[in-house]
Amino acid sequence: MTDHSQTPPNPYGQPAYPPPSAAPYPPSGPAPYPPSGPAAYPPSGPATYPSSPGPATYPPSGPTAYPPSGPVAYPPSGPAAYPPGQDPAAYPPGNAATGATPYLSPSAAAGPATYPPQPAPPPGAPPTYPPNTPTFGNQPPYGQPPHHPDTGTPYGGSPAPAQPHQSRPKWKTALLATGAAVVLLSVSTGTAWFVATTGTTTGADGTGSGDDTGAGADEWAVPLANAGSSDFTTGLAFGSWLTDKVVIRAQKDGVLAYDLGSGKRAWGVPAPGAQLCGATPELSQGKAAVAYGSNTLCDHLAGVDTATGKLIWKIKIPAEKSRLSNSLTVPRIMSSDGVAIVELSDTVTAYRLSDGRKVWSATASRDDGCHLKDISASPTRVAAILDCTFRGGTRLQFIDPKTGKVTKQAPVGDLGLMSSLLSADPAIVQNESGGQNSFTVYSDTATKVTEFKTPEIDMLAMNTVAFVTGMFEQHRYVIHGDRLYLASFPQNVPQQMRSSNKALAYDLKTGKQLWESSDTHDTILTYVRADDQGLLAVETGDRRDLAPRLIRLNATTGKATELATLPQKYGTEAEKARVFERNGAVIIIPWTSVATKNAISYVNTR
């Protein structure tokens, strides 16, 4: 893989969504899977958006998140997209001392890199890369997000995120001058955000007082405008983050933050372009990156400071136009050690979250028939699977997020079409073949620790929708220490309008299955986080006869203990959602509007 570098700067899986093309679930709860089980994986490839005019607004009965018209879209001509690719420059053989193969070379010499100024291209002209642009691999999905600090919770340790996957070619790294102009933003305090002022609240007495005084509320929710409709793209969340004070949702028309105690809107950032089209799954040093663009091109990146609620920089990034009408190809975005990792078309680029500067870039070596099969990121490491047809075969690579240098690598053998990089740290490669899944665990030195097979499990992405391709996928699993928690494939519950699954625990050192969850209700489990005590999860229930519950699965036995019962009206809200828990409060942020009514639901269970 060739590398284009510039200057430098516990994971928990998420539940998977069934194919978004299905009709919305009935009010009583989501439709059960057909007798044969849920539909198969959706076709791989970048996600696409229908070119619907603008973001939806919240209904009159609830807070309005954005105006009906939404942010203004780009004119038809739109900003010019980057060319699909550049011919990688030749690079010397890799450094044997680092264990790199001849087609991988270190990114730069020791010492801080500099950012030489780059002339901006003339209006309408596509930007160009510097001559010595390294190359890298294909885009991957993200299995688990990085660890999220969540102190003071009565139900155990803090949550963690998911990571991406795709096959990856060889890397060659070299310092480059950034080709994209970085715009540092000074946001006016008078900006109209077009976001909701507050969520609908329920007082301590359980009544829906709607009190907007800022006092604490036991429950509050932000309704979805298009709940119950077949338009699943306007309600799609690209990312959700939790800080000490607010919960944040990045969606098509902008970024919204709500105060945890009152449900009042703390701040909002409308999409800088026609719409958002991506976001980092986790925060890094309190900052995130969001992708945005027009209805047909996702070609910009912006930094969000969650402490101030402001955009702090904007840059133009390479983009790929979808070959399909009414669709959008989006980049896969992750974060690691203060940088945003962006992957598109076998090229991976790191941008500093503090100012948007390009740190390094790497592209798969087409001369060796390489492509990026998958990629994943943790707070300290980027991992990739690089598949090279002509030389090197399929390899697992560890990359330093600050420099783009390949630090370790190892062959992984042949992988099937549905294989993925489940996690970067620990490195876990998942491979599906003939309906059976196998998992291979690698050490910090990229040596194989163990390999084991599992029965049929749920590896469907929870956050994919029709007409959107390429986005980082969220799946139903959690990793803590030497423990991997997976979910069995959902089964229909007889005589009920819902499905159910079981949690499965595996030892990552031995590959042995430790237990299957017990004493759980017949419903879908959505994982919150794992710690030394076990697995914190929400039984999603339905809106008819089974209320959702917050439970803990014992780390040794898998037996469920009820911690709290949530109101019936929140049934199914957590089925395909990012769920946080903080000091007894459960915060649910659905990935799509399928079978949900709210963009955010907050329930204090204490």
The answer to whether 497 touches 52, Cβ cutoff 8 Å, is no
The string of DSSP letters for 258-303 reads: EETTT-BEEEEEE-SSSEEEEE-SS-BTTEEEEEEE-SS---EEEE
Query: 564 - beta bridge partners?
Result: 550
| Interval 507-564: pLDDT, tens | 999 999 999 999 999 999 999 999 999 999 999 999 999 999 999 999 999 999 999 9
Residue that the structure tokens 């959902």 belong to: 490
Which residues, 6+ apart, have CB-to-CB distance to 308 below 8 Å?
A: 267
Most confident of 193-202, 206-215, 496-505: 496-505
CATH code for position 233: 2.130.10.10
Instruction: Answer whether residue 207 is part of any domain.
Output: yes
CA distance 522 to 580: 22
Instruction: Answer whether residue 211 is part of any domain.
Output: yes
45-49, 68-72, 299-303: segment of lowest average pLDDT: 68-72
Instruction: Answer whether residue 112 is part of any domain.
Output: no
Instruction: Answer whether residue 117 is part of any domain.
Output: no
Given pLDDT bands bounded at 50, 70 and 90, which one contains residue 1?
A: low
Mean pLDDT of 37-57: 40
DSSP tag of 457: B
Count H helices and E strands in the chain, helices first.
0, 39
Q: How far is CA 573 from CA 31, 304, 339, 587, in A?
A: 14, 27, 32, 10
* 416 has a pLDDT exceeding 90: no
Residue that the structure tokens 């209700």 belong to: 521
Given pLDDT bands bounded at 50, 70 and 90, which one contains residue 405?
A: very high
Question: How many residues are given for the chain?
Answer: 606
Considering the entire predicted model, what is its pTM? 0.70
CA diameter of the chain:
71
- Which burial class, exposed, middle or buried, applies to 367 when counting CB atoms under 10 A from its CB (0-12, 13-18, 19+)? middle
Instruction: Answer whether residue 115 is part of any domain.
Output: no
Mean pLDDT of 19-36: 39
Instruction: Answer whether residue 370 is part of any domain.
Output: yes
CA distance 476 to 460: 8
Mean pLDDT of 220-241: 83
**Measuring CA to CA, which residue among 154, 43, 155, 112 is closest to residue 417?**
43
Query: 483 - beta bridge partners?
Result: 480, 507
pLDDT of residue 4: 52
* 581 has a pLDDT exceeding 50: yes
CA distance 556 to 518: 12
Given pLDDT bands bounded at 50, 70 and 90, which one contains residue 155?
A: low
Given pLDDT bands bounded at 50, 70 and 90, which one contains residue 397?
A: very high
Q: Structure tokens of 194?
A: 């077009």
DSSP tag of 443: -
- Which burial class, exposed, middle or buried, applies to 50 when counting CB atoms under 10 A from its CB (0-12, 13-18, 19+)? middle
Of 249 and 39, the one with more pLDDT = 249
Given pLDDT bands bounded at 50, 70 and 90, which one contains residue 299?
A: very high
Given pLDDT bands bounded at 50, 70 and 90, which one contains residue 588?
A: very high
52-61, 348-357, 465-474, 492-501: segment of lowest average pLDDT: 52-61
Amino acid at the residue 345: S
* Domains of the chain: total: 1
Which residues, 6+ apart, have CB-to-CB distance to 96 below 8 Å?
A: none
Question: What is the domain range of residue 288?
Answer: 2-106+127-604
Given pLDDT bands bounded at 50, 70 and 90, which one contains residue 240?
A: very high
CA distance 203 to 208: 6
Instruction: Answer whether residue 268 is part of any domain.
Output: yes
CA distance 288 to 292: 13
Instruction: Answer whether residue 121 is part of any domain.
Output: no
